[in-house]
Amino acid sequence: MELVTPGSGLIFWQVGSALVTLAYFGLMIYALVDVIRSEFREPLMKLTWVVLILFFPFFGALIYLFLGKKNKNQSRKFTPKFK
């Protein structure tokens, strides 16, 4: 009886799935941090995006990155007050 040993292809599957998992969580965390740090035109938009990203992590983050940027206030300006 021969023992079944993993071939060299197994490492590629493991590394590939680890990279996909890291990209998945990185996308979700980036979207959540961006939502929390941003100011939106309507007060409930922030809560709506957070709920959407938490309940539908991958698709919610993608939808936010493509559509959510249009609902932000663009009036963030750097105005230092030097004396």
pLDDT reported for residue 77: 67
Could you give the CA distance from residue 63 to residue 28 in angstroms, rounded to a whole number?
11
Give me the pLDDT at residue 27, please.
93
Give the pLDDT of residue 20.
94
Per-10-residue mean pLDDT, the chain, length 83: 65 88 94 89 88 92 86 69 78
Q: Which pLDDT does position 28 carry in this prediction?
A: 94
How high is the pLDDT of residue 7?
67
Q: What are the DSSP calls for the chain, one per residue? A: -PPP---THHHHHHHHHHHHHHHHHHHHHHHHHHHHH--BSSTHHHHHHHHHHHHSHHHHHHHHHHHGGGGB-----------
Q: Where are the domains of the chain?
A: 11-71
